[in-house]
Amino acid sequence: MTDRDPYLWLEDIESEAALAWVAERNAETAAELAGGTGFAALKRSLREVLDASDRIPYTVRRGAFLYDFWQDAEHVHGLWRRTTLEQYRKDDPEWDVLIDVDALVAAEGEPWVWAGARVRYPDYDRALVCLSRDGADAVAVREFDLVTRTFVEGGFQVPEARTRIGWIDADTVFIGTDFGPGSLSDSGYPRTVRRWRRGTPLEEAALVFEGGAGDVSVGGWHDNTPGFERDFIARSLDFHRSETFLLAPDASLVRIDVPDDASAHVHREHLIVTLKSDWLGHRAGSLLVFGFDAFLAGDRTAQVLFTPDARTALAGYAWTRHHLILETMHDVSTRMDVLTPTSDGPWARAPLTDVPALSAAAIVDTDPDVSDEYFLDVSGFLQPSTLHRGQIGADTEILKQAPARFDAAGLAVRQFFATSRDGTQVPYFVVGPGGATDGPGPALLYGYGGFEVSLTPYYSSVTGRAWTARGGTYVLANIRGGSEYGPDWHRAALGADRPRAFEDFAAVAEDLVARGITTPPMLGAMGGSNGGLLMGAMLTRYPQSFGAIVAEVPLLDMLRFHRLLAGSSWTAEYGNPDDEADRPHLRELSPYHRLTAGRPYPPVLLMTSTRDDRVHPGHARKAAARLRELGHPVLLHEDAGGGHTGAGDNERTAHNRALVYTFLWQHLAPAVPPVSG
């Protein structure tokens, strides 16, 4: 290992020298991967499913309308639109287009990417529209009139920044943004909450709350539930700890006194608390409910809505008007229940719906102020999405069903458990040939392993067309660092214990080989962001286990990550390089610093974006430069836009996915014929 870093100049994102170097690497990658007819055919095939007109348009309800954002071949940047439920039930609904982002891009000459809108309650006549420049996390905010279909001249408008904004009433918003020196945290997020009134200059917005420079961020929001109108302030101390306050009418703050690693959510008269550590005799991972007013008065009498066990964890919940829909995972497969408050005694419980084995279900939307309506999406690796609409206590209807996008004949989904180095059983899903085969074949192992992110079954048209339908096996690893088995599963790989996630992933790789599913030369590994750190660990710790590795928007320099863009917000996950107690284990974790000339590495493809303002593109750039210096096979592709997602439109997404899968096929199964067409 070495702390010498001759490639710091590549951290200068838009310097002439750095961009020239990136252009050379992109040209090499294009020559290696994008020149053949097979690449063009694969890209066309992927673009076809991304642009397909019969995709499910997922919506959110705002009053009488269902809102959707849609991109296809004719609308590259997309349409923000709405329709009624009556129309939505039709195969070809009539959509009312509110904003044509392509027209906006053409008119203003800016590469705008849609970043969402906050529609004003209860009239739903105005919206705070967020636009990202080429996919960055930073957004420009503009007020939009849904009646006239125009941006409001003199309305709420905020220049490009990492802004948090939300309606209080027709003429007032809570806002946190870049107000100049001292207004942002060390992580680059707002550290102040201000109340901004219509018609007044932004810089005169009244200060409501100020957090510390070392906090990740702060935010404020207005609860407009009729009869329960309240204001709240949240302070993120780090990525896993926060404080929530009720903002009283006299501007005083009343702390909602739960553990700072718990989450607190207020809905009508209820306070819902999700525990990440033991508290008041309740286990970490439990879901508790209190009477909100009683809690503020000091009553800590809770009803327990969920208690985890060794194989079952909380995945989420959603309110309807009278019920709470509870989502749990049992060995990473979804279960859905309905909980109903009672006037006296435990909440009633009943199943919401049956979810097929080895599948996933998710609540897409509810309307908690008005009705018990819910929209539920159910899918699996080989099961295209089905969107259901229901009213709790009544029959459900199938609103939309996505068609199959790839040939799944002969494919099956199985779940296995690998034994990690410390004896922990690590689940993983295998999607591939379901019957007898002629022997092991090419396989792609995907993982993440951090920040409490759970990886669950899902239907991917892109992976299906590019990989499994062509004979590849796809594997999803549920390694520690995620939340598949609750807080303990995450905590087991925090900080200096991060290698447990690496060991879990390596154990899955070994188990795949032991089961005869693949061999090391035919096994690829892929991950992005924190999963890119995982890929760096596989490259430097277990290179003999893989035939190729893809790291997307990766985190690789663990001694400087906290100084790059949003990196300082992740010290609670990894440790702080400036802390002498943490620096040794971070240096040991850092793939960039573990790179050496003395060990053969599998070929590596690094994917990043110049406009990624979350994980700095310098991570991928510097690793590519160091690998080249050491004589190892490496390709780098840096998209000029796209932000942390790596692509801002379907054309670029198809191109980038085609690069990835072309690279994998070249190295894991070069004899497989390319996609025709």
The residues carrying an active-site annotation are 529, 644
For residue 481, give every residue at least 6 positions away whose Cβ sits within 8 Å of its Cβ, in sequence order, or none.
Answer: 448, 449, 450, 451, 489, 490, 492, 493, 494, 498, 500, 501, 530
Using alpha carbons, select from 63, 166, 58 the residue that is nearest to residue 388.
Answer: 58
Token pair of 99, please? 């904003």
Task: Give residue 308's identity as a one-letter amino acid code.
Answer: P
Return the ∠ at Cα 670 (arms to 521 and 479), rounded to 5°: 40
The residues that bridge with 222 in the sheet, in sequence order, are 231
Cα separations (Å) of 591 from 20, 626, 627? Answer: 25, 11, 11
What 123-130 contacts at long range (C-beta under 8 Å, 24+ apart), as own/partner pairs, is: 123/170, 124/62, 124/63, 124/65, 126/152, 126/155, 126/170, 128/156, 128/165, 128/166, 128/167, 128/173, 129/80, 129/99, 130/163
CA–CA distance, 322 with 325 (Å, rounded to integer): 10
Helix residue ranges, H only, 430-555: 461-466, 487-491, 499-514, 530-541
Percentages of the chain per state (helix, strand, coil), in multiples of 5? 25, 35, 40
Contact criterion met (CB below 8 Å) for 111 and 133: yes
Contact criterion met (CB below 8 Å) for 169 and 189: no
Cα separations (Å) of 292 from 228, 265, 271, 295, 320? Answer: 11, 10, 5, 5, 18
483 CB-side CA count, 13 A: 17
Which position has the token pair 């819902």? 272
Of how many residues is the chain composed? 677
Token pair of 664, please? 């994998």
Using alpha carbons, select from 293, 304, 162 the residue that is nearest to residue 236.
Answer: 162
Cα separations (Å) of 610 from 19, 113, 130, 143, 532? Answer: 9, 15, 20, 28, 16
**Number of neighbours of residue 224 by Cβ within 10 angstroms:** 15
